[in-house]
Amino acid sequence: MTQEDDPNMANDPKNHDSLRFSTLAVHAGVEPDPVYGAIMTPIYQTSTYVQPDIGQPLKAEYDYSRVENPTREALERSLAILEGGRYGMTFASGMAAIDTLMRLVEPGDHIVCGNDVYGGTYRLFAKILTRYGLKFDYVDTTNLDQLASAVTDKTRLVWLETPSNPLLKMTDIAAAAEIAHRHGAWLGVDNTFATPALQRPLSLGADIVMHSTTKYLGGHSDVVGGALVVNSQEIFDELRFLRKSIGAVPGPMDCFLTLRGIKTLALRLQTHCANATRLAEALAAHPLIEAIYYPGLPDHPNHHLVASQMGGRGGGMLSFIPRGGQAAAATIARATRVFSLAESLGGVESLIEIPAAMTHMSVADSLLAVDPGLVRLSVGIEDGDDLLADLTQALEKAAVGELATVG
């Protein structure tokens, strides 16, 4: 199959290999509309396509929008180019992407998963897919010896998040890929937290990259979506067949909004990272904070990987545990005014949440259970002074409660 035959292959007439990321984010995968010259990708809001004759669509695969849609294809080309991959495929949500991917494995196959992952991922693996004969082990993927011990010749997939959710653990992707490939397994990486603006797992040996495009790629908390990017035509062909058969596709407006968000990804990530670093440094020095998790801090146990695989930037997510535990965490989460109490992440606005009671409720009573006193921040692009002032006043209220408890 050639690039001309396959609209989803990362095929761009611009020489994208010579362009830097911020330029790619604006231009990759999209071209002016050939009919009217519109610079923005048209929204092909159609469910079906007229055929000149029976079983003869105007263009191959364009018989029904569950199969192909031009707006969706533009997004898929963009994502593939940004991740340095050959093929991109988008889905109705990040979980739809993971669920479709997991249909590449068969009953009896073994999957090794990181022991710090999004609660929805764990719920899918442990509470749904195990019913169909898939076997999962959860290990600390930052410990390469532990990872190597868990992977066997029956392992089909190693799945990891780096940075992980919600403890911001970092895994050496190249080393994990070598371990997986030694046993004939694929390495899949959820790159949602880092985005291709900071990290490109395929270039480090990963076989599959996944995104919740709802988060930083869309970037404005107004769309839900997911994506997979691969280099293998065999994997892509099977995924495309699965998506066509299952139907977990995003609508054209969702794809348009995500494409629009991607254009400012590089700029947004600069501010996300700068604000998160500033807050992490302030929290690390605050007397109320017992533990902080941010890979951009020098004392983070995996900090060296920030330089080697994330371009020296720690990302826009951080978590911490305040002195006073669950009660103090709740006080802080309820007291912020610029940070909004909400699930999700990666939007322009700053969010605060308590993972144990919100995004990670499904891991309660498991080996992946989250400390109820953990607070997770998605640091937005507001003014850094305002974010720091907001968090400081919330911490002060928690400190008053802590003193009252002691008294």
Q: CA-CA distance, 362 to 252, in Å (whole number)?
A: 31
What are the strands, taking DSSP E only, across 186-296? 186-190, 208-211, 226-230, 289-293
Res. 9 pLDDT band, cuts 50 70 90: low
> pLDDT higher for 16 or 170?
170
Q: What is the pLDDT of residue 256?
A: 98
User: Considering 190, 207, 371, 390, which one is annotated as catalytic?
Assistant: 190
Residue % of the chain over a pLDDT of 70? 94
C-alpha 289 chain-centroid distance: 27
Q: Cβ(211)–Cβ(93) under 8 Å? A: no
Domains along the sequence of the chain with CATH: 16-106+179-262 (3.40.640.10), 266-406 (3.90.1150.10)
pTM of the model: 0.94
User: Considering 77, 156, 215, 268, which one is annotated as catalytic?
Assistant: 215
Q: CA-CA distance, 372 to 364, in Å (whole number)?
A: 10
Peptide bond into 322 cis (omega under 30): no
pLDDT tens digit string along 351-394?
999 999 999 999 999 999 999 999 999 999 999 999 999 999 99
User: Considering 14, 66, 103, 323, which one is annotated as catalytic?
Assistant: 66
Task: Say whether pLDDT at 212 is over 60.
Answer: yes
Known catalytic residue: 118? yes
Which tokens hold the place of 190?
């959820």
pLDDT tens digit string along 18-30?
899 999 999 999 9
* Three-state SS at 24: helix
Q: What is the pLDDT of residue 400?
A: 78
Cα torsion for 168, 261, 251, 74, to the nearest 10°?
-110
Q: CA-CA distance, 114 to 180, in Å (whole number)?
A: 13
pLDDT tens digit string along 236-275?
999 999 999 999 999 999 999 999 999 999 999 999 999 9
Mean of the per-residue pLDDT values of the chain: 94
Q: What is the pLDDT of residue 10?
A: 59
Looking at residue 48, the DSSP 8-state letter turns out to be B
Q: What is the pLDDT of residue 221?
A: 98
Closest alpha carbon to 172 in 205, 195, 196: 205
User: Considering 118, 122, 216, 294, which one is annotated as catalytic?
Assistant: 118
Res. 61 pLDDT band, cuts 50 70 90: confident
pLDDT tens digit string along 273-331?
999 999 999 999 999 999 999 999 999 999 999 999 999 999 999 999 999 999 999 99
Q: What is the pLDDT of residue 406?
A: 36
Q: What is the pLDDT of residue 218?
A: 98
Task: Say whether pLDDT at 404 is over 70.
Answer: no
Peptide bond into 34 cis (omega under 30): no
- Residues contacting 204, CB < 8 A, separation 6+: 173, 174, 177, 309
- Residues contacting 203, CB < 8 A, separation 6+: 84
Known catalytic residue: 66? yes
Q: What is the pLDDT of residue 60?
A: 85
Q: CA-CA distance, 11 to 58, in Å (whole number)?
A: 20
Q: CA-CA distance, 157 to 112, in Å (whole number)?
A: 6
The DSSP string of 289-311 is EEEEE-TTSTTSTTTHHHHHHST
Q: What is the pLDDT of residue 3?
A: 42
pLDDT tens digit string along 110-152?
999 999 999 999 999 999 999 999 999 999 999 999 999 999 9
Burial class (CB in 10 A: 0-12, 13-18, 19+), 385: exposed
Task: Say whether pLDDT at 14 is over 70.
Answer: no
Q: Cβ(317)–Cβ(345) under 8 Å? A: yes
Known catalytic residue: 190? yes
Q: Cβ(321)–Cβ(371) under 8 Å? A: yes
Burial class (CB in 10 A: 0-12, 13-18, 19+), 362: middle
Known catalytic residue: 215? yes
Q: What is the pLDDT of residue 7?
A: 53
Res. 34 pLDDT band, cuts 50 70 90: confident
Closest alpha carbon to 280 in 269, 299, 268, 293: 293
What are the strands, taking DSSP E only, across 38-185? 87-91, 110-114, 135-139, 155-161
Interval 171-177 mean pLDDT: 98
